[in-house]
Structures are given as C-alpha cells and as structure tokens.
Structure 1
Amino acid sequence: MKINWNYIKLGFLLVLLSGVYTFCVERHQSKKIINSTVEFIGEDNLFITQQTVNKLLIQNLGSLTNVPKDALVLNKVEKVLEANEMVKSAQVYLTVNGGLTSKIVQRKPLGRIEGNSNFYLDDDGKRMPLSSNHSARVPIITGKITDESLQNCYAFLNFINADDFLKKNIIGINVVDTNDLQLKLRLEDYVVNLGSVNNLEAKFNNYKAFYSKAIKDKALGGYKAVSLEYNNQVVCTKI
C-alpha cells in the first residue's frame, strides 16, 4: 500500500496551526489590563472630568488595572458610565497593548432653567443637573415651568440653534404661560413677545425684516416691546 505523504503533511500542518492558534488565544486572554484612559467625544465643555470617570469606575467595579482581559465585561463598564447623569453614551473597548479605553459622549444642554429648582434642558428634551465643573452659556429659562412649557421651550431652542443670528441674539426665555413665551435679547432693551411656538419660521422671517429696517432707520432704541404673535406682522410698542 502506497502512503500518501501529502495528506500526512497536510494533517500535521493543520494540527500545528490549531496548536499555535490555541496558544495565541490563551496567551491573549491571560494578558492583564495595564492602563485605563478616557476620551470625551464632541465639545470640550467638560461637565464630567476624567478624574470623576475613574472614581466612578473604581467605586462600582474596583481597580481595572491588572485585571485579566477575559475577566472584564465591557458591557457592564459601559452601563456604569451611562448611569452618570452627565453621560449620554459610552463605548468601552480593549486595545491590543493591554489598555482599556472609554469613549464618552456628554449630554448637551440647550437651556438653563432658573426658578424653584435649577437645571438644564438637554438636546433630548430631558432635565439635566447642573455641573460643578462647567457652566454652559445657554439661554436662561424662567417663569411658569411645567413639563408642557419645557417641551415648547425645547422646540423653540432647537429652532434658534439652527439659525446663527437667533442663536447669538436670544439669551433668555420667560414662560408667561404654557403657550406664551417672551424673549430677552443680548443687545436690545425691548422684549419680544413670541406667543406660541407655532409658525416659528414665518414669525422670525417677519422679525428679521423688521430688525433690518429698524437698524437702517436707527429706531431700535425707541421700542419697549415687539410682538410676533399676530399673523404675518410685527407689532411694536414704543417707549
């Protein structure tokens, strides 16, 4: 009987490759985490710091250095980070050289509520606590604060944040009633009576036309109130 050495060689090669693969996997799994780093994605406004993140992980999971890689549950680490009120989302992964990296997206405030309780309204329309590390430069919201009026403020803030002119000039929102908002401007002394958040594009197209003409006529200092509540017109109250 003739021996087919090619098959024997192939079999030996497969056994050898399997052994090498098993060795590499076991060696990789036995490696330990040597360091932990934090990366903040997006804006530089740090409502939560790297020190706070490290403390949060240690309090909930203990020290993560010198922990075997295969003993660490990354999903559990992410849930610990996302439980913090300043964190919108977290992604955690292991690097080839034994590092643990946490990429964190912070919550983004759109407005700051000042009243019986102080907090932010974030870009998901949810309440966000103030931070001792950073104070966001966003419009101040005062007046009759309810869940419904905050949703109207949220819709309005999203609208003005998409417009450079309005974003730069509107610094305050006073909630007169649920569907009645009054605006404070950065440079002008008059207030803008917005009314409801319906037809915002038409209202501010009218306002921009009024504003351009009033600047040209040097008349802005003569008004104490400008109303956008009425259809297709701007009604001004003089001092």
Structure 2
Amino acid sequence: MKFRKVLKYLLFPALMVGLGFLYSFSSTRNLQIKIAEPIVEFEEGDNNFLTYSMVNKLLIQNKETVQNQAKSVINLYGLENRVSKNPYVENATIFLTIDGRLKTIIKQRIPVARIVLKSGSYYIDKQGVKVPLSNNYSARVMLISGVENVEAVNEILPLISLILGDEFLHKEIVGIEKSEVHEYKFSVRSGDYKINFGKLSEMETKFKKLKAFYSKTFKDKTIKNYNLINLKYHNQVVCIK
C-alpha cells in the first residue's frame, strides 16, 4: 500500500515532465513549419483597387516573399504595418493559422468623391483621406472642383455626407463646384440646369426646399424650363429660365 502511494507521487511529476517535453517539442516543430501560399481575403465591397497579386507583393519580409519562410521568423506586426500603409487600404489584419497559412484580411477604402484639380485628380473616402486613381478600378462618384487643399476637403465633407445619406440626392447630384466666394453649385443627372446651393449653412433646410421643388416640377414637367435653381435665399427657391 505504501509502495503504491509512493509510486503515485512519483508518476505525477514524471507525467508533467513528459507532457512539458512533448509540448515544447510540438511548439518547436510548429514554429519550423514553413508558410504555405498566403491567403488573402477582401471585406465586402464593390471597389477593386487592389488585386490578390498586389497584396501578395506587399507580403515581403527580408526582401523575400513570406511563402516558404519559417513561422518562427514571421513578423506579423511588420507585415500588417506594411500592408496598412498602402493608400487603398483602410484596415488590414494579418495572422497565422494553425496549419501554417498566413491569412490577410483587407478592408479597402471606399471613394465617395473625386477631387478635380488643374494638376490632376484623386478620390477621397468618407473621412476625407486621399485615395489615388487606379488603373484597376474607376469609381462612379461625384466630381468636385474648386476644392484646392485639405482644409477645403474637410469643409465639404458634411455636405458630401448629407448627399450620400439621401438615396434621391445620391443619385441626382453628380458634381459640385466651389466658387472663389465659398459658394457651391451642383450639376445634376436629371437635366442641364445647375443648382446654386450657396454657402454651407442651413444645408438640411435647403435640401428640403429642393426636394419639394423637384416634387412639383417633375410632376408638371416644368423643370426643363429652368437653367438655374437658386436655393441660397431664405425660405424660397428662385429659378432662372
């Protein structure tokens, strides 16, 4: 009986040592597994600035692709930081799977407008972040001119947000032009006329006036008689034929 008790106390530490050895051996072996072909996933969205091939070219470590490198030498933070610096990437998550695959999940930036300058043009996303044009994808967004710097972009973001948040306005307004006196004029899809929005004040009230005006003039088909619809005056819509 005493021998069994002693044996019991001896077996438990031996078992723990054995398990520790197996775990250490397994962990070491796991770290030596070489990375198979990386997995790249894009979050939902209809923009295709980046391709799988373009992302794979960003997954470079020690001047070589991560494929066939050992898991133990993979710097996940460094890779994630590298991918996140791409101007088309809003967010990137990179991790290793148990079976030795490097998985990258990317959320691409979604363009909401295209800023047109004399020197060229670029997209902006909803935060106003600059997104370069791409040969892979052309976004159908509002064209904005007269906005020359970051401050002007930030100034117009609330207006863009209001337009995008309204299904009708989103489809109707195709262009915005800022004048030298900081007033805004819209180009629209439904006709050749312009909409003088004025300054960025009472924006919601102005859009309510515009939609009420549209409701009437679309119904009686008089909208085609006008060249300019002016919303800048308080509580009225002034039209020029």
Please report the TM-score for the alignment, with normalisation by the length of structure 1: 0.92
Alpha-carbon contact 2:47-2:110 (below 8 Å) kept: no
Q: Which residue of structure 2 lines up, in the alignment, with residue 48 of structure 1?
A: 50
Matched, 1:126 2:134: no
- Cα shift readout 1:140-173 (whole Å, capped 9, x = no counterpart): 1123523333223222111111110010111001
RMSD over aligned CA atoms reads: 1.9
What amino acid is the match of 2:217? A
CA 1:83–1:187 in structure 2 vs 1: closer, same or farther (change >3 Å)?
same
Matched, 1:162 2:136: no
CA 1:178–1:108 in structure 2 vs 1: closer, same or farther (change >3 Å)?
farther
Alpha-carbon contact 1:109-1:120 (below 8 Å) kept: yes
Alpha-carbon contact 2:60-2:79 (below 8 Å) kept: no
Alpha-carbon contact 1:142-1:174 (below 8 Å) kept: yes
Q: Distance in 1 between matches of 2:102 and 2:42?
A: 14
Query: The residue matched to 1:177 in structure 2 has which SS?
Result: coil
List aligned pairs for 1:161-200, cutoff 5 A: 161-177=164-180, 179-200=182-203
Alpha-carbon contact 1:119-1:129 (below 8 Å) kept: yes
List aligned pairs for 1:44-123, cutoff 5 A: 44-58=46-60, 61-116=63-118, 117-123=120-126
Q: Structure 1 regions of 5+ residues with no counterpart?
A: none
Q: Distance in 2 between matches of 1:11 and 1:55?
A: 50
- Cα shift readout 1:91-148 (whole Å, capped 9, x = no counterpart): 1111122111111111121111222121112221122211111110000112352333
Alpha-carbon contact 1:88-1:105 (below 8 Å) kept: yes
- Cα shift readout 1:162-212 (whole Å, capped 9, x = no counterpart): 110010111001111363110000112211111122222111111111110
Query: The residue matched to 1:55 in structure 2 has which SS?
Result: helix
CA 1:208–1:217 in structure 2 vs 1: closer, same or farther (change >3 Å)?
same
CA 1:64–1:208 in structure 2 vs 1: closer, same or farther (change >3 Å)?
same
What amino acid is the match of 1:174? E
Of 160-169 and 225-234, deviating more is: 225-234
Q: Distance in 1 between matches of 2:27 and 2:105?
A: 26
Q: Which residue of structure 1 lines up, in the alignment, with residue 18 of structure 2?
A: 16
Matched, 1:212 2:220: no
**Runs of 4+ with >3 A deviation:** 58-61
Q: Which residue of structure 1 lines up, in the alignment, with residue 139 of structure 2?
A: 136
What amino acid is the match of 1:226? I
Matched length:
238
